[in-house]
Chains A and B, each alone.
Chain A
Amino acid sequence: MATSVRARPDGSPPPAAPPSSPGPRGRRRSPGGWRSTLYRWDLKAIPYVFIAPFFLTFAAFGLFPLIYTGWLSLNRVELGGDPTWKGLENYTDLATSEFFWNALFNTFTIGVIATVPQLLMALGLAHLLNYKLRGRGFFRVAILAPYATSIAAATLVFAQLFNTDYGMINGVLGWVGFDPVNWESSKWPAQIAISVIVTWRWTGYNALIYLAAMQAVPQDLYEAASLDGASRWRQFISVTIPSIKPTIFFTIIVSTIGATQLFGEPMLFGGSVGISGGSGNQFQTLSLLMYEKGWVTGALGQASAIAWVMLLLLLLVGGVQALVSRHNRKKLGG
């Protein structure tokens, strides 16, 4: 995150900037003028040569498309046709479109259901893994296994497990004495099922990130807390959590970015009606709506406007995060 590049979870100061190199003066100027010219040129230009591949790739495949998408969003464009200028019409159309509000709301609710329990469970798991354990390596790799599973593979497996008629999850529920749940066609069950897929894939990954941050917490903080008679739970709340706050922020931001872009899980979960997010659009996310507008309806201007709304949402989240972390730094007097 741009705002927290220098912050470090363990509270240590950022690494000192490397001393700037004294340059070619370290070397006696050689009589062969061309060599030293070449050498000086090498020293001046080479950093730019090294960073060029990234910035060229970004310019071609990131920045240019980003700006062009912004321009397209102000036009009416049919797939394969020429753009006609419409100003903000695409955006005003979105504001009055029930499909857009539905998708925005779904993105938000699935995002919350998929992110909040996931990060809380990850925090708990990290705490457990932080004890002295037998088989630590096994547990780490086991909870990371879902991360190795692709969106497509995970969703296809869970779609079977969540199948209303023959899926194992309804089977287990029936065995315990519940009625079968309609996981695909009812709104909230479908959103919960999709959130379960996201949670399954990412909980272990976040737990390992928290674990690394927890292990960087200085031991003497815990010792001091113990001497003050703090229980283990108290130590977790008053020592562990505050110490890894920057890392928690990092995971919240990354998960939020991910949740805003949800596409593959709802699409594949919905099977033949995946693009529309179920037969009643009950789990159509912004990404799905954008894809539907662009590649099914062929309205590229509308699709571009949705993409830009997504960027604005993320900027909003980033702004809030920046404010909160600044507020926190002020409180710490740092």
Chain B
Amino acid sequence: MAHTLDRSPAESGIPAAAPAARPGRRFRQTAGRQHHAGPLTYVLLVVAAFVSLFPLYWNLVAASHSGERVVEAPAPLLPGNRLLDNLSFAWNQVDMGEALINTTIVASLVALSTVLFSTLAGFAFAKLPFRGRGMLLSLVVATMTIPPQLSVIPLYQIITDLGWFDQLQSVVLPSLVAAFGVFFMRQFLVEALPMELVEAARMDGAHSLRIIWHVVFPVARPAMAVLGMLVFVQAWNDFFWPFIALTPDGNPTLQVALAGLGAGNHTVDHAVVLTGALISTVPLLLVFAFLGKHIVGGITAGAVKS
């Protein structure tokens, strides 16, 4: 977990694997990493990296050839020269551009609101005494296990009644705050926010909103950033509910538009379908390339401490 206080990870019980909030800070040499890697380790890791990255590379290759070439054996291994043509076709003819804008709107709204509400709830669960706190926190965790399949049928009826079918609010509203986010922020604030800070502000007669603004937000900022990224990725890639609530020809997110292409709703060739896949993946890959270290930290902190 990103960590800004002057406590060693070991002391606070935070796995030292989690990277620091400040970019460029080195990992601590910690337990378990007791031996230097031998050549076999490198060979296996290179294979794992290759298997992870090759499908993404091949996606780029396929998107740069003509539709005819993509379905010819042997499959192409090197990029062709049709990428720009395919991009402009996907952008204009099958509205991937509009889908990209829709997805950006949805993912940004969901990330912002989830971070805000999760921080408030996480702070209450971490630092404020109130009746039923433990029970309610267990309830929050329990809701994480409920599959979305259990709510989509009534949700579909609700959004149809409200006239929201194929409107973006139908995918934004149910995701305004997530149990995972509440739990994540609570775990962070329990250790990162010294009670003395809250007490001192209370002594000064600060009311809760001031405390949130001047005490909680500054301390929680690194965790808020990590949570924001994780939720953004999830919302960007969300499939099941958007597929039910939106249509490929109406107001789709990228995933719904891709499902439409894959199911052959449009008579487009496979190169264009894979160009669509590329448009969906590249923005997130860029986020990972620049901020991957923090995302790794967020993923591990959320899981290891549960």
A: residues with CB less than 8 A from B are: 1-2, 4-5, 8-10, 12, 15, 18-22, 24, 26-27, 38-39, 42-44, 46-51, 53-55, 57-58, 61-62, 64-66, 68-69, 72, 124-125, 128-133, 136-161, 163, 165-168, 171, 200, 204-205, 208-209, 211-219, 221-222, 232, 240, 247, 250-251, 253-254, 257, 260-261, 263-264, 267-268, 271-272, 274, 286-287, 290-291, 294-295, 300, 303-304, 306-308, 310-311, 314, 318
Contact = CB atoms under 8 A, between A and B. Distances in A.
B151 A53 contact: no
A46 to B, nearest CB: 4
Contacts of B207: 38-39, 42
Contacts of A15: 13, 190-191
A261 B243 CA distance: 14
Contacts of B155: 61, 65
Contact of A72 (B36, B153, B263, B299): B153
A194 to B, nearest CB: 14
Given A5-B138, A152-B259, A310 B128 contact: no
Nearest to B27: A136
Given A168-B75, A295-B244, A307-B150, A232 B258 contact: no
Contact of A21 (B198, B284, B296): B198
A232 B145 CA distance: 37
A65 B153 contact: yes
B277 A156 contact: yes
7 contacts: A43-B208, A66-B150, A167-B75, A247-B303, A264-B243, A268-B262, A291-B244
B82 interface: no
A50 B56 contact: no
Contacts, number: 373
Interface in B240-265: 240, 243-244, 254-255, 258-259, 261-264
Contact of A141 (B34, B129, B292): B292
A54 B121 contact: yes
Sort chain B's interface into a size bin: 35 or more
Contact of B259 (A171, A240, A268): A268
A142 to B, nearest CB: 4
A152 B280 contact: yes
B32 A125 contact: no
A24 B207 CA distance: 11
Interface in B36-87: 36-38, 41-42, 44-45, 48-49, 51-53, 55-56, 58-59, 62, 70-75
B58 A142 contact: no
Contacts of B36: 131-132
Contacts of A140: 292-293, 296
B71 A216 contact: no
A272 B143 contact: no
Nearest to B71: A166
A26 B202 contact: yes
A171 B32 contact: no
Interface string B140-160: 111101111111111110100
A263 B240 contact: yes
A161 B69 CA distance: 14
In this complex, the member of A22, A137, A215 whose beta carbon has the largest number of chain B beta carbons within 10 angstroms is A215
Interface in B152-203: 152-156, 158, 173-174, 176-177, 179, 182, 190-191, 195, 198-199, 202-203
B74 to A, nearest CB: 5
Given A53-B121, A140-B292, A308 B150 contact: yes
B16 to A, nearest CB: 6
Contacts of B305: 8
A232 B35 contact: yes
Nearest to A215: B17
B267 interface: no
Contacts of A211: 17, 300
B270 A12 contact: no
B187 to A, nearest CB: 9
Interface of B: 13, 15-18, 27, 29-38, 41-42, 44-45, 48-49, 51-53, 55-56, 58-59, 62, 70-75, 117-118, 120-121, 123-130, 133, 136-138, 140-143, 145-156, 158, 173-174, 176-177, 179, 182, 190-191, 195, 198-199, 202-203, 205, 207-208, 233, 236-237, 239-240, 243-244, 254-255, 258-259, 261-264, 270, 273-274, 276-278, 280-281, 284-285, 287-289, 292-293, 295-296, 299-301, 303-306
B41 A42 contact: no
Nearest to A309: B149
B208 A20 contact: no
- The list of the 8 closest CB pairs from A to B, nearest first, reads A212-B300, A65-B151, A131-B37, A219-B31, A153-B277, A150-B237, A47-B130, A65-B154
A257 B288 CA distance: 25
In this complex, the member of B255, B274, B276, B305 whose beta carbon has the largest number of chain A beta carbons within 10 angstroms is B305
A239 to B, nearest CB: 9
Contacts of B133: 47
Given A54-B140, A215-B16, A307 B277 contact: no
